[in-house]
Amino acid sequence: MANVDSPGPSLPEDREALRTFVQSLLHERDQHRQQAEAQQRRAEEQSRFVEEQRRKTAQLQTELLRLQVELERYKRWYYGPRADRLRTAGELAQLLLQFAEELDQKPVLAADSEQLAQPVERRVQRRPGRRNLARFENLPVTTHVYELSDAERACPGCGQTRKEIGAEESWQVEYIPGRFERLQHVRKKYACPHCEQKGDSPQIMTVAKPETAIDNGLAGPGLLAYIVTSKFAEYTSLYRLENVFARQGFAISRGAQSVWCRDVADLVEPLYEMMADGVRASHVVATDDTTLPLLQKGKTAKARMWVYVGDASQPYNVFDLRSTAAVTVRCAFCKTTIRCS
């Protein structure tokens, strides 16, 4: 088989034409090289852009995770134990979608369709009987009797007066708010007329009045007990008690109530000392303090409320309020001179 050589490119015979042809080839080569370099630069720029976008995406994902962790921490702080039951909107949507798909796959029976077509009456199931009230029988009883008038007792049939044949009874529990009363103490005076006739001393004697909580005070023991109990046991401020008393028709200023609380504190000081002695006699004494503001002239000071708790043999809680001002005081509990600071 004969070999046939493919003819090569025809070159011009003229020298100038050959130079022009070579220059055109070199120019074309330079253009291709410039295009290749431009494409490589664009590829490198595109790669750098993609890498920058990937880096920004990683930063955004990290910031998103940080914000999610911070959000979970705030939710636990705000909602407490309920935060564990909270779900994101995506999780809730996925749960609802799964529930809808499972519901669509279940067949609908004819009996169910007929039951759904009928209107359903809502009934509240009540437990039979009446709930028992604690110590209902120990409450004082006020009886209200309802009777017919003479005109209503007339029988519509014959006109004669109808006779009582029985009664129906029912019970209620009522609350009567406290009311103010004026207590007038009249102390009778007695004198011996025989001694007076003889010219001797008439031997006058006045009946002793019951001892009062506050000497020459207007407040009775019940009112003082109510104010102190509301203030220190029910945590009702004195200005609220002032409004309560005003609504009941007798205004008592908070200043007067403060003075009465101080007088009651002086009155029960022996009881406080007895409780403190009992706590000091305990085998173990627990104590702790709480800081709180203390009102005084000028700027409000910082104070500490100390509580001393006795053991089972002396189950008392003794409180001691001390200002944090740098002064030397005598502790009311341990009876030692200390310097509060």
Residue 31 lies in a domain: yes
d(CA 171, CA 139): 12
| 40-75 exposure pattern, b = at least 16 Cβ within 10 A, e = fewer | eeeeeeeeeeeeeeeeeeeeeeeeeeeeeeeeeeee
Q: Is the pLDDT confidence value at 293 over 50? A: yes
Residue 14 lies in a domain: no
pLDDT band at 340 (very low <50, low <70, confident <90, very high): very low
Q: Shortest CA distance to 147 belongs to which of 168, 176, 173?
A: 168
**Mean pLDDT of the chain, nearest integer:** 78
Mean of pLDDT values over 257-285: 93
Instruction: Give residue 93's pLDDT.
Output: 60
pLDDT band at 105 (very low <50, low <70, confident <90, very high): low
**Is 323 in the same domain as 288?**
yes
Instruction: Give residue 328's pLDDT.
Output: 41
**Is 288 in the same domain as 338?**
yes
**Is 262 in the same domain as 288?**
no
Residue 116 lies in a domain: no
Q: Shortest CA distance to 308 belongs to which of 328, 338, 332?
A: 332
Residue 44 lies in a domain: yes
In the chain, what is the straight-line distance between the N-terminal and C-terminal CA atoms, in Å?
A: 121
Residue 186 lies in a domain: no
Cα 74 versus chain centre, distance: 18
Residue 158 lies in a domain: no
**Is 300 in the same domain as 325?**
yes
Structural domain boundaries, residue 316 = 282-341
Q: Considering its fold, how many domains does the chain have in total? A: 3
Q: Is the pLDDT confidence value at 337 over 50? A: no
Q: Is the pLDDT confidence value at 158 over 70? A: yes
Per the listing, tokens 């101080």 go with 262
> 286: part of which helix (H) or strand (E)?
strand 286-294
3-class SS at 51? helix
Q: Quick one: tokens of 293?
A: 């503001």
**Is 263 in the same domain as 296?**
no
Residue 331 lies in a domain: yes
d(CA 239, CA 201): 54
d(CA 275, CA 268): 11
3-class SS at 307? strand
Residue 12 lies in a domain: no
d(CA 48, CA 115): 67
Q: Shortest CA distance to 169 belongs to which of 137, 146, 140?
A: 146
Final residue in a domain of this structure, among 52, 70, 88:
70
3-class SS at 228? helix
Q: Quick one: tokens of 168?
A: 């129906």
**Is 338 in the same domain as 293?**
yes
**Is 262 in the same domain as 290?**
no
